Amino acid sequence: MSSAAQQAPVLAARNIGKSYGHVRALHNVSLELYSGEIVALFGDNGAGKSTLTKCLCGVEQPDEGYLETPQGQVTLRSIRDAESIGFTTVHQDLALAPDLSVLENMFLGREILASDWRRHLAIVSRREMAKQTQAALEDLSINLPSVRVAVSDLSGGQKQALAVARAAMWSSAGILMDEPTAALGTRQSDIVCDLICSTAERGLAVMVISHDILRILNIAHRVIVLRHGQIALEKRISETSQREVIDAMVGYDERVRELET
Amino acid sequence: MNEATQTVETAPAPSNPPANALAIHPLRRILNSTATWVFGIDIILMLVFGVISPDGAFLTSQSFQALGLDAAEALLLATGIALLLGAGEIDLSLGSNLLLSSVVGAKLIVSFGAGSTGTATILGVLVCLAVGATVGVVNGLIVTRLRVASLIATLATLGIASGIANIVAGGSDITGLPQVLQTDFGIKTELGIPLPAFVAFAVWLITILLFKSTRYGMRLLALGSNRGAAQRSGLRVDLHLVLLFGLVGTFAGLAGFIDLTRFATTNLAGHTNDGLAAITAAVIGGTSLFGGRVSLAGVLSGTMLAVILQDGLIVIGLSPFYQLIAIGVVLVAAVSLDQHRRPGGLRSRLLR
């Protein structure tokens, strides 16, 4: 994504700060998300990852600073607000209804109604929703047994893939993903990583919050490390190393290592 | 939960079969469903009672009409409760809601002295439906506004509605309702079908359409399947719940009206257990008590099971109290069998 740097960011956080009582969860955090680019957000527990994510997806509002899109400054008061500027979120719990079918989960809250008089009775067109779900899944090379099976019958990897596909379907600018590989085995994690790459290739900005450093470093274009609510490291993937990322996470300074050796 | 998923993922062998389980033939699915099994039991029971009953009295059209009439109110309540259970809620107050609706309806009809069929019927229907809907909406508001779990909220309104009903009635049943209510609706048959049964069946059919085909059915199931996901999908969860409680209350109000027209009197002592019987019927038919799974076909077969047992035992000259015992046993058997057959059910949980 060499061209990414020249474009305006699809979403930028400018000097964001957030405190909960006396606890300063975020301080002076600025970051930019570009379309087609995968940004990995790392940080130890309590580093501010989830607070930052919540500010970006509309669940929380920052105390200081602001968010900016190419259209100007925005305030996100809800997940719906974030969706209206083109950003969707894949939550760690996936937010899928297990008893509903794949297509119903895909369209829950945005159902397609029948095109004839039946629409006045709020009758849905499952055929149309199935068609569009199928297309969306194929677009990302996701293979499910059928779009009409219940989500409870899918494997963990398939559920994750479905959640990503749903986020991609309703997003026009970018996707935030919270620990997309945390619940998965090795093979499923690799499949989900391929999926993350193909969503980015479709021109969406992707931010992945993860503890799965090795795997996500393989697919990310840029790395941001949070520590104590501040950005401890931000580098292009080619300019950094796993060692540097982990050091930044735990606050392990170069000088300390020199002293040790 | 994460750990559980992980275990399944790292051991691929047991994780595969469920994916195909629903992809198999739809006919197979129908044959496998609890509702169908219970229908089978219904038919066997009818045949058994038919054989045992003197002169096959159980298999006459007269007997079928009685079955239909007895099933009408129960079917309305069970249909309503199945929807609520699907949305992850419960309503214990349906029985006393039915009672209150019928008492208020009766009181107004009597005090207006409505002699003509038309006025009595219209007034009765409207008042019963309105009272039923009101109790339902109050339930919904207690659950959504006061954040009281529906089990507790409706346990409270179960008592409250029944208390109000008794106070309004003045402690004794209201009689003196126009006979036409009975002769023109309550016990009238058209094409061999009692009108109340026809109405209840129509409501059941419309509910199936509502549940299977409209977005409200989908959303209702989502509410019971994963409330948080429903919220994050932008659904107005509280509004949906209040309206749903209101709709189910309206079903109880309609059942209350049917009760009035059948007996031309209220029945203060008779409806205490109706709500629980409705829950039993729905659960026997395969509706989950824990949300996300509704079987409206099972509502019909579960209701019929209760009614067939009740009427059949009387016809063969046994005490109808055996019905309570039989239904209890069937409830336990149905739910336990269901748990064992279901992927992710009791058996797979034990194996995990």
Q: Is the pLDDT of residue A163 over 80?
A: yes
CATH of the domain at A246: 3.40.50.300
C-beta atoms of B213 and A100 within 8 A: no
Q: Is the pLDDT of residue B220 over 70?
A: yes
C-beta atoms of A97 and B230 within 8 A: yes
Q: What would the CATH number be for the domain defined by B35-45+56-339?
A: 1.10.3470
Residue range(s) defining the domain that contains residue A231: 2-98+172-260
Closest CB to B23: pick one of A105, A145, A183.
Answer: A145
> Number of folded domains in chain A?
1
A127 at B interface, C-beta within 8 A? no
Q: Is the pLDDT of residue A254 over 80?
A: no
Mean pLDDT of A62-75: 88
C-beta atoms of A99 and B221 within 8 A: yes
**Residue A121 is assigned to a structural domain of this protein:** no
Name the strands in the sheet holding A222-227, side by side, starting at the edge strand that comes first in the sequence. Answer: A87-90, A174-178, A205-209, A38-43, A222-227, A230-236
**Residue A196 is assigned to a structural domain of this protein:** yes
Q: Which amino acid is at B325?
A: I
- Write out the DSSP string of chain A: -GGGGGSPPSEEEEEEEEEETTEEEEEEEEEEE-TT-EEEEEE-TTSSHHHHHHHHHTSS--SEEEEEETTEEE---SHHHHHHTTEEEE-TTTT--TTSBHHHHHHTTSPPBPSSGGGGGTBB-HHHHHHHHHHHHHHTT---S-TTSBGGGS-HHHHHHHHHHHHHHT-SSEEEEESTTTT--HHHHHHHHHHHHHHHHTT-EEEEE-S-HHHHHHH-SEEEEEETTEEEEEEEGGG--HHHHHHHHHT--HHHHHHH-
Q: Is the pLDDT of residue B15 over 50?
A: no
pLDDT for the residue numbered B300:
95
C-beta atoms of A96 and B226 within 8 A: yes
Structure letter (DSSP) for residue B10: H
**Where are the domains positioned within chain B?**
35-45+56-339
* Smallest Cα distance from B342 to chain A, Å: 11
C-beta atoms of B222 and A97 within 8 A: yes
Q: Spell out which residues of chain A touch residue B291, defining contact as CB-CB under 8 Å.
A: 99
User: Distance between CA atoms of B240 and B232, rounded to whole angstroms?
Assistant: 14
- Spell out the SS3 assignment of B34-74: HHHHHHHHHHHHHHHHHHHCHHHHHHCHHHHHHHHHHHHHH
User: Distance between CA atoms of B124 and B111, rounded to whole angstroms?
Assistant: 12
Residues 6+ apart with CB under 8 A from B294: B82, B83, B85, B86, B211, B220, B221, B287, B288
Q: Is the pLDDT of residue B17 over 70?
A: no
Instruction: Quickly count: other Cβ atoms within 10 Å of residue B130's Cβ.
Output: 16
Q: Is the pLDDT of residue A195 over 60?
A: yes
A59 at B interface, C-beta within 8 A? no
Taking the mean position of all CA atoms in its chain, how far away is CA B335?
Answer: 17
Best to test chain A binding among B232, B236, B290, B295 (most A CBs inside 10 Å): B232
**Could you tell me the pLDDT band of residue B150, with boundaries at 50, 70 and 90?**
very high
Radius of gyration of chain A from Cα atoms? 20
Torsion of Cα atoms, B148 then B149 then B155 then B156, to 10°? 0
Percent of chain B exceeding pLDDT 70 equals: 87
Q: Do residues A15 and A30 lie in contact, with contact meaning Cβ atoms separated by under 8 Å?
A: yes
Q: Is the ipTM of this complex over 0.85?
A: no
A218 at B interface, C-beta within 8 A? no
B4 at A interface, C-beta within 8 A? no
**Residue A180 is assigned to a structural domain of this protein:** yes
Q: What element of type H or E holds B194?
A: strand B193-194
**Could you tell me the pLDDT band of residue B174, with boundaries at 50, 70 and 90?**
confident
Give the CA angle between residues B156, B158, B159 to the nearest 5°: 70
* Smallest Cα distance from A177 to chain B, Å: 15
Residues 6+ apart with CB under 8 A from A172: A86
* Smallest Cα distance from B147 to chain A, Å: 22
Per-residue pLDDT tens digits for A151-162: 988 888 888 889
Percent of chain B exceeding pLDDT 90 equals: 42
Two structure tokens written together for B296: 């409206």
User: Distance between CA atoms of B320 and B322, rounded to whole angstroms?
Assistant: 5
Instruction: Quickly count: other Cβ atoms within 10 Å of residue A12's Cβ.
Output: 18
Per-residue pLDDT tens digits for A199-249: 899 889 999 998 888 888 889 999 999 888 888 888 888 888 888 888 888
Best to test chain A binding among B20, B218, B227, B236 (most A CBs inside 10 Å): B218
User: Distance between CA atoms of B295 and B283, rounded to whole angstroms?
Assistant: 9
Q: What are phi and psi of B186, to 5 degrees?
A: -55, -45
Quote the pTM value.
Answer: 0.84
A217 at B interface, C-beta within 8 A? no
Best to test chain B binding among A79, A99, A116 (most B CBs inside 10 Å): A99
Best to test chain B binding among A59, A108, A119 (most B CBs inside 10 Å): A108
Q: Which amino acid is at B91?
A: D
Q: What element of type H or E holds B180?
A: helix B179-181
> Which segment, A136-140, B42-46, B262-266, is predicted with the most confidence on average?
B42-46
B344 at A interface, C-beta within 8 A? yes
User: Distance between CA atoms of B110 and B120, rounded to whole angstroms?
Assistant: 9
SS3 (DSSP) at B190? strand
Closest CB to B222: pick one of A108, A122, A124.
Answer: A108
Two structure tokens written together for A227: 């520590």
Per-residue pLDDT tens digits for B46-104: 888 888 888 777 788 888 888 888 899 999 999 999 999 999 999 999 999 999 999 99
